[in-house]
A and B are shown apart, each in its own frame.
Chain A
Amino acid sequence: MADAAPPSKSRDLDKLLLRPGNLVGPTFDPGVQLRDDLQEYARVLVVGAGGLGCELLKDLALSGFKNLEVIDMDRIEVTNLNRQFLFRLEDVGKPKAEVAAKRVMERISGVNIVPHFCRIEDKDIRFYNDFNIIALGLDSIEARSYINAVACSFLEYDSDDNPQEETMKPMVDGGTEGFKGHARVIVPGVTPCFECTIWLFPPQVKFPLCTLAETPRNAAHCIEYAHLIKWDEVHSGKAFDPDNPDHMKWVYDEAVKRAELFGIPGVTYSLTQGVVKNIIPAIASTNAIISAACTLETLKIASGCSKTLSNYLTYNGVEGLHTKVTEFVKDENCLVCGPGVLIELDTTVTLEKFIDLLGEHPKLLMTKASITYRGKNLYMQAPPVLEEMTRSNLEVPLYDLMDKIPKDVLHATGTIDKDGKRSSGLRKLRVVFKGIDGVTDMDMAGGA
């Protein structure tokens, strides 16, 4: 590898990777080998090539990582240029992932970045299993939730419900809004996953429709009236497209008319865009800070060269500078990252028998269970229309309904008896069929 030239390109990083340290991770094994292995074996996926993604690619490439890939479905817009430093005015309209990968490779020799210009859902989930660490530079809850579910689906537990280290897919996640941001480390099975703490993201505030229709009081009310009510009224059937400037202009004009009607000040084109597209203000500095923090954690997870963030950092630069580290705890019953309940079965057990067994299982005591498996509803207790459609499955062996996969995860909803108290619940079940040959731990996806 890079041992030919005496002056090392990783002059500064070498101090961290080649020397023993006192405040380091348990697996830290300093030396040239560690540095070289990091370059050769560590594969990192960057999800998102926007404000955070551009920074992440640069930071990772300058932190010892040589095998990177990046996925993003968006094209470059003019409004990206105040912070997404890998893009130039002449790049507007080109795919972000492709331009970002190209720019970083042009400047840092020896780094390989594979771009993927597509939606995250377009990739087979095996694609994600090829990476050792996933770095998230996203601005939506949906996308985070999706990647989290994928990463957690690789996690396997042993028969004692202990997470198996070799199946963990660590994630680092960043997010910013103006002068504020967060960086976190998610190690499925060890730290809380995104779903365990989804309450950290409060639902977006929505105005009541009748306020918009009857008692508008501010500019945003007028804009949302034009956007949510008036548009449909006038353009029956034609969908509103926020990226169409004509559509936006129409909404703006309507909002102005309405504001004038009610004597409400403050409707501007900029505000209209902000309200309709839910634009989150973004600046270069916060993105840089949060991405760099995520990169440091990626390096630490991979190499053990220092302690890791445990597990959530919040950053606020509005008044002075406040940072805070919070150690959130896992939801043991999390459907996405939790162990669920292990159930061993014969291949002959029918779905009906299986549902009966759930009522007797000491860890479950679940009656009237409905069962879903990889998006297929095997049996539904309600409503009658679904019960009827799924009833015929009851006589079929579960093994057949699970496509003869010897070991997998399914979910059950039913009434749970706990200490004499009954409540409804949804549980993750790890089903293993007995006596099947060739069951190994090899790359068997869990399916959360």
Chain B
Amino acid sequence: MIRLFKVKETQKELAGNSDGGTPTKKQSAGELRLHKDIAELNLPDCCTISFPNGKDDLMEFEVTISPEDGFYVGGAFKFSFQVSPVYPHDAPKVKCIPKVYHPNIDYEGNVCLNILREDWKPVLNINTIIYGLYHLFTEPNYEDPLNHEAAEVLKNDPKAFKNNVKMAMSGNYVKGLGYTKFY
């Protein structure tokens, strides 16, 4: 190899500083894989995606879910996605932006969805996550609660739960906490 280094060194001296076309931006393996995930997105009508930083930055984006049935009809729940350069080795970081009364989403927007943490695998993709989130709105579950109080109500009195969701989504207080108004 050393001879090679020598040759290169001489070449460099000859070439001077004439290499103007070298790129300065590096596309990470994570960005490429994300490009594939995004290009292959197959979302139901009730889910939309937007890219606040324009078409060339896919690493941060937002997904809005507008459930068509269940407790949460009438709402439009926006989630922020942050994707790491070593995606899909690491799962994207997902947060729910509006304040929502939901057993599996806490007041700070943390989401309890197994594939976002303990069950994340590199074979999963953005589409799977969005479907997982969508599922949380059609079938909220009281078994894996982040909002303990909401889970208890859902478990013991679904009618009251339905009412609480309605209250929250109309911008009213539920148990002393204010929620985002949708209608």
Contact = CB atoms under 8 A, between A and B. Distances in A.
A and B touch in the complex (CB under 8 A): yes
A166 B7 contact: yes
Interface in B1-59: 1-9, 11, 15, 19, 21-33, 35-36, 38-43, 48-51, 54-56, 58
B120 interface: yes
A37 B89 CA distance: 41
A198 B89 contact: yes
Interface residues of A, number: 75
Interface string A119-163: 001001110010010000000011001100110010000000000
A210 B144 contact: yes
What 3 A-B pairs come out closest when comparing CB atoms? A370-B39, A210-B144, A232-B108
A206 interface: yes
A229 interface: yes
A38 B28 contact: no
A372 to B, nearest CB: 5
Given A377-B55, A413-B40, A445-B22, 10 more contacts: A124-B24, A125-B22, A132-B4, A145-B29, A207-B117, A208-B114, A233-B108, A374-B25, A383-B41, A426-B35
6 contacts: A303-B2, A304-B1, A335-B32, A380-B55, A389-B55, A447-B27
Q: Chain B at the A interface: mostly helix, strand, loop or mixed?
A: loop
A369 to B, nearest CB: 8
A203 interface: yes
A424 B40 contact: yes
Interface of A: 27, 29, 34, 37-38, 41-43, 121, 124-126, 129, 132, 141-142, 145-146, 149-150, 153, 165-166, 170, 195, 198-199, 201, 203-210, 213-214, 228-229, 232-233, 236, 301-304, 335-336, 370, 372, 374-377, 380-383, 385-386, 389-390, 405, 411, 413-414, 424, 426, 442-445, 447-448
B111 interface: yes
A153 B106 contact: no
A132 B35 contact: no
A129 B84 CA distance: 25
Contact of A375 (B25, B121, B122, B145): B25
Contacts of B91: 203
Contact of B26 (A34, A42, A153, A207): A153
Name the residue in B3, B39, B56, B111 with the highest tally of chain A Cβ atoms < 10 Å from its Cβ.
B39
Contacts of A206: 117-118, 120
Nearest to B24: A124
A304 B55 CA distance: 48
Given A372-B35, A377-B58, A214 B107 contact: no
Name the residue in B24, B32, B118 with the highest tally of chain A Cβ atoms < 10 Å from its Cβ.
B32
Interface string B100-123: 000010111011101001101110
Given A166-B8, A213-B112, A141 B21 contact: no
A198 B114 CA distance: 23
Nearest to B120: A203
B62 to A, nearest CB: 11
Name the residue in A34, A383, A442 with the highest tally of chain B Cβ atoms < 10 Å from its Cβ.
A383
Interface in B120-143: 120-122
A126 B32 contact: no
Contacts of B85: 142, 145-146
Contacts of B19: 126, 442-443
B60 interface: no
A365 to B, nearest CB: 17
A124 B108 CA distance: 39
Contacts of A444: 21
Contact of B6 (A37, A146, A149): A37
Contacts of B104: 210
A229 B4 contact: no
Contacts of B89: 141, 198, 201, 203
B181 interface: no
Contacts of B117: 206-209
B111 to A, nearest CB: 7
A305 B95 CA distance: 55
Name the residue in B24, B86, B122 with the highest tally of chain A Cβ atoms < 10 Å from its Cβ.
B86
B23 to A, nearest CB: 5
A120 to B, nearest CB: 10
A447 B112 contact: no
